[in-house]
Amino acid sequence: MVKRSILRIAIGTLITFSFLVTMSALVHAERDTTYRVISLYDLTGPYAGLHQLNSRGEVDFWRWANNEPGYLPEGVKIKDEIYDHGMDMGRAVAAYHMAVSSTPRPILTTGGQTSPTILAIKSIAKREKIPCVDGASARSIMVPPAWTFSMQGCYEGMVAAAGRLLRDNWRSDTPYTLIRKRYEENKNRNPRMSIIGWDNAFGRGFDQKEGRDYLKSIGVDWVESEYVPLNPTDTTPQILRLVKGGVDMIFFGLFAESHAFILKDAARMGVREKFQDMCFWADNIIQLKNYAGKLAEGTLMITGYQMTFEEWPEWLLKNLERSGLGENGALSYSGVASWFDVDCEAIRRAAKKVGPENITGQDIYDALISMKDYQCMAYNSKITFNETRRIGPSTAAVYQIQNGKVVKVEKSVYIPDLLPNGKDVVR
């Protein structure tokens, strides 16, 4: 009898405890406030090769963030929503309007991760008072400052930083083989630089007077820029003009598929080693290696994103491994972790200020413009925004393809501030 009584008490206690735990979890779940974060991607157009990977990384990031204890403020959950704009501006604007008109109103968005789409929603984001944190940093997006924030260095600043690397390595003992070959053939003149970019607001955004003036001031001569379609079929004329101009470094303002196509055209004409190529911030050097093979050997990339796995937090590496995307997904998983970690830092600051259940787009905006030297995940640079500054990083790392592997060759290079009235503009 005693044993049965003890057993009944034990079972009753266990049931009561389980009930209380369940009720506690339910009450806690009911107290959670779910906020919408909107992302626009080109999943069916010319950027799809990269953006499809980005969208996979986003889904995995928010799954991790919502389940990682202590990462988001207590009582806060995020619902991420993805829309495809297909690089159609009308479609991008329509998707944005549909997203922000639904309730509850989102507190953050991306802008489509292309310069044209971000430009298309720039004024709408300001009117709707919903911050847009994205990658593109063309000056038309950044100036005048609005509610659009960038996780990349300014375009003309990237070119200037690449030009400084060229100038600093214009010598016989440089570790960069392609630059050394150009130096040995042209040691009696200044190094020469140019841009090849897509023929749109993004590709043309890299070539600015302030950038050329800066390069001239440090002893780098300019060769006129060249532009190609979003889906190039023959880049022979552009390459020949650059080579005829004696270019030593070409800054590539486009993505890996087009970059690889251009390298193949150059190789076909026997001029691949007539220039050092430099990838812009999100021209995926890993994809380039896989698309172009040995032609990518020696290619450089200037970026804030961490491009080698040993730099990553363990959870992010596990996310990528589970995705099955392999190394091609590295830039995307690093990129989305950094963008959305900045979003989450703004959410944490806003929750602390107004309470986790009261966050609005305005609160996120206020948190962003007060952010200084924030070291976000999987990123080489610290992020600073303020009342007038919408570009987060002022430094970057440089990576290179060496013997088929991605290697970090410069830990930190300065990105000159060459937006109008920027502190590094040559006067």
Q: Which residues pair with 295 in a beta bridge?
A: none
**AA letter at 200:** N
- Rounded to 10 degrees, what is the CA torsion of 90, 91, 97, 102? 160
The answer to whether the beta carbons of residues 126 and 361 sit under 8 Å apart is no
Per-residue pLDDT for 384 more than 70? yes
- Strand ranges inside 218-275, DSSP E: 221-222, 226-228, 249-253
Q: What is the pLDDT of residue 13?
A: 45
Q: What is the pLDDT of residue 14?
A: 42
Per-residue pLDDT for 264 more than 70? yes
Class of the 155-309+396-414 domain? alpha beta
**HEC per residue, 35-80:** EEEEEEECCCCCCHHHHHHHHHHHHHHHHHHHHCCCCCCCCEEEEE
Coil, strand or helix: which one is 301?
strand
**Gyration radius from the chain CA atoms:** 24
Per-residue pLDDT for 116 more than 50? yes
Structure confidence at residue 347 as a pLDDT band (50, 70, 90)? very high
Structure confidence at residue 8 as a pLDDT band (50, 70, 90)? low
Q: What is the pLDDT of residue 404?
A: 95
Q: Which residues pair with 198 in a beta bridge?
A: 228
CA distance 316 to 298: 27
**AA letter at 276:** Q
User: How many CA within 13 A on the CB side of residue 127?
Assistant: 9
The answer to whether the beta carbons of residues 279 and 259 sit under 8 Å apart is yes
CA distance 353 to 362: 12
Q: Compute the average pLDDT of residues 19-47.
A: 72
**AA letter at 425:** V
Per-residue pLDDT for 201 more than 90? no
Q: What is the pLDDT of residue 3?
A: 42
Confirm whether 35-154+312-394 and 155-309+396-414 share one CATH topology.
yes
Contacts of 94 (CB under 8 A, 6+ apart): none
Domain residue limits, the chain: 35-154+312-394, 155-309+396-414
CA distance 107 to 34: 11
Q: What is the pLDDT of residue 84?
A: 97
Q: Compute the average pLDDT of residues 306-312.
A: 95
Per-residue pLDDT for 20 more than 90? no
Q: What is the pLDDT of residue 328?
A: 87
Q: Which residue has the tokens 């630089």?
A: 193
pLDDT digits (tens, 9 = 90+) for 311-337: 999 999 999 999 999 998 999 999 999
Q: Is residue 240 exposed (0-12), middle (13-18) or buried (19+ Cβ within 10 Å)?
A: middle
Coil, strand or helix: which one is 139?
helix
Per-residue pLDDT for 368 more than 80? yes
Q: How high does pLDDT run on average in the chain?
A: 93
- Strand ranges inside 357-394, DSSP E: 374-375, 382-383
Q: Compute the average pLDDT of residues 209-223.
A: 98
Coil, strand or helix: which one is 280?
coil
Q: Nearest Cα to 406, choosing from 320, 295, 289, 318?
A: 289
* Architecture of the domain made up of 35-154+312-394: 3-Layer(aba) Sandwich (3.40)
| Backbone dihedral angles phi then psi of residue 370, each to the nearest 5 degrees | -105, 5
